[in-house]
Homo-oligomer: A and B are copies of this chain.
Amino acid sequence: MPDYTPPVEDMGFLLKDVFQAEKILTGLPGYEDVSADLVESILEEAGKFCAGVLRPINQSGDEEGSRLVDGKVFTPKGFKEAFKAFVDGGWSSLSAPTEFEGQGLPRTVQILVDEMLSASNLSFGLFPGLTRGACEAIEAHASQELKDTYLPKMISGQWTGAMGLTEGTAGSDLGLLKTTAKPNGDGSYTVSGSKIFISSGDHDMAENVIHLVLARLPDAPAGTKGISLFLCPKFLVNEDGSLGERNSVNVGSLEHKMGIHAQPTCVMNYDDCKGWLVGEVNRGLNGMFTMMNAERLFVGVQGLGLADSSYQTASTYAKERKQGRAPGAKESGMIIEHPDVRKMLLTMLSFVEAARALTIFTALEMDKESKSTDAEVRKQSTGLVALLTPVIKAAFTDFGFEATVLGQQVLGGHGYIKEWGQEQFVRDARIAQIYEGTNGIQAQDLVVRKLSLEGGATVRGFFGDISATLAEGAKVPALAETATAVAAALATLEDVTAWLTTGEGANGLEQNSAATDYLRMFALVTFGWLWVRMGLAVVAKGNAATPHETRKLAVAHFFATRILPQAHALAVQIKAGSAPLMAVASAEF
């Protein structure tokens, strides 16, 4: 597997030239010291860690996989040492609250580190990612005692976290879950049930694993309104914070999966284990949803990171591989000269850079949401983040997966064998379209719930921002054609949005029938907007723009002319409505 080159330079361009992140962040209480230089040095160091420590064990981790021996999970060679280095480097506490010994850095910094973790070694990146998610749920909902007992050690990386949601017959529909919890009378509960697909459910890299488990109390209402959240540690914790006896939180088996082989995805048995309630009775899903925006942004960047990794290998290969005469050439040249190879690479690139821009845009909104002193700003950011979260989760992982497939295709047969690592990126990327809510569920969330936020004002405001950028772009010769194409796509998107929210399509059946096509269309237009924004930043730099930055104008034009037209077809497909989907009787499939 080739080396990984951390995209720190591109991140810097986006932070500084496109989004003026320093100004936004240092204006927020708690982030006053988060200068551009500080962020750059953190990203540099994180990149070195990912490229130097995590990437070298990515392929070997895939080959070896995690193993279950006598009820204990062993991660592949090098993972334990890498995790120790990760913890020692302070990477696990980066954005955690200072109150619990975290470093209190912005989400914006965290998410860019997450991209590099995912890109270099997704299986590894899931360990700290899930721990962070568990910490956020505990922080938002648990009692002070639970917070004080668990958070500092989870944040330091001494302990890790896991989420016990899915059961054999309850996946997307958690209302069907059967795990039970009974009060013991001493404030603790006895939790009993079996969960599947539990990432990081057990391993040998940390002393303790803290499970957050969804379960039903006796006499809880049926469905999603009868679910509570419990904290069940692998080892019970003594009053002095030391580890006590083993709790009956047991690994039934490891799932055998298409990819992320190094990541131990467990069947977990909670065999009358001891647990503590997190948050209110019967409001367990609230606890889970607290962290959903952040987790879904994290899953989105997994698609982005793997696409970038695949792009890096594919572009290097294409510049070094001699084969076939390009049109008009007299003899065999490098395959990068072939238009179709370029089309594949540009498709990948136009996704990767736009997705990274949207990641930063959204993370900055999340930072504003949690830190701004201006209630109006917070409210607006909350709306934007809610709107964009399903788009990021689903579109980044769909386009990201497709990008890894293209990156494999560029290498031909060499992409299919394991040597170059391209096929691993495809297998690893595939899961991100499924977990943390399938992409179909994300699309449903976007269309059914998010378009109607603030009576539609949120989405209208977002489209308005896009429109303003496009008007600016249309005035710049180097961007005019691009901006005009995006404006046409935006007009179509606005039309379809109106159809789905106030027109003929404004009902559950049509909305659900439109959802996945609509989300894709929404993402394409959003990417187009960001390409114009990036283009404007390049133009504004004038002669100071590097060749690498000037390239972005050409990639923007490629995206607008050779990818974005799909948006118009999607609109036609959506307006064809639900009838073509519902005509075949269920039994006839």
Mark A residues whose CB is within 8 Å of B: 166, 169-173, 175-176, 196-197, 255-259, 315, 318-319, 322-324, 326-328, 332, 334, 336-346, 349, 401, 405, 408-409, 412-419, 423, 426-427, 430-431, 433-435, 438-440, 443-444, 507-509, 511-513, 515-516, 547-548, 551, 554-555, 557-558, 561-563, 565-570, 572-573, 576, 578, 580-589
Contact = CB atoms under 8 A, between A and B. Distances in A.
Contacts of A259: 416
A427 B405 CA distance: 11
B583 A558 contact: yes
A538 to B, nearest CB: 13
Given A508-B328, A547-B588, A415 B443 contact: no
B412 A589 contact: no
B569 A557 contact: no
Contacts of A589: 315, 318-319, 336, 342, 345, 349
Given A339-B512, A434-B416, A573-B561, A172 B323 contact: yes
Which of A341, A431, A507, A513: most chain B Cβ within 10 A?
A: A513
A405 B427 CA distance: 11
Given A256-B417, A318-B589, A430-B426, A343 B581 contact: yes
Given A418-B257, A548-B588, A586-B334, A343 B513 contact: yes
5 contacts: A196-B413, A342-B582, A409-B433, A562-B573, A565-B570
A561 B578 contact: no
Nearest to A568: B569
A253 B444 CA distance: 48
B439 A581 contact: no
Please state the number of chain copies in the assembly.
Answer: 2
Contacts of A349: 589
A257 B416 contact: yes
Contacts of A324: 172-173
A220 B264 CA distance: 56
Contacts of A443: 340
A332 B170 CA distance: 11
Given A416-B434, A568-B572, 4 more contacts: A256-B417, A326-B512, A338-B512, A349-B589
A171 B412 contact: yes
B576 A412 contact: no
Contacts of A401: 405
A257 B342 contact: no
Given A343-B516, A413-B196, A561 B582 contact: no
A195 to B, nearest CB: 11
B328 A509 contact: yes
B440 A340 contact: yes
B332 A581 contact: no
A434 B413 contact: yes
A569 B327 CA distance: 25
Contact of A515 (B340, B562, B565): B340
A581 B440 contact: no
B551 A584 contact: yes
Which of A342, A427, A433, A511: most chain B Cβ within 10 A?
A: A342
B423 A409 contact: no
B434 A415 contact: yes
Nearest to A435: B413
Nearest to A342: B581
Contacts of A346: 580-581, 584
A171 B340 CA distance: 16
A323 B557 contact: no
Contacts of A256: 417-419
Nearest to A413: B197
Contact of A438 (B258, B315, B412): B412
Contacts of A568: 568-569, 572
Contacts of A586: 319, 334, 336-337
A430 B438 CA distance: 22
B558 A581 contact: yes
A176 B583 contact: no
A332 B587 CA distance: 17
B588 A176 contact: no
A207 to B, nearest CB: 29
A508 B444 CA distance: 44
A170 B321 CA distance: 10
Contacts of A439: 409
B563 A255 contact: no
A183 B558 CA distance: 53
Contacts of A337: 586
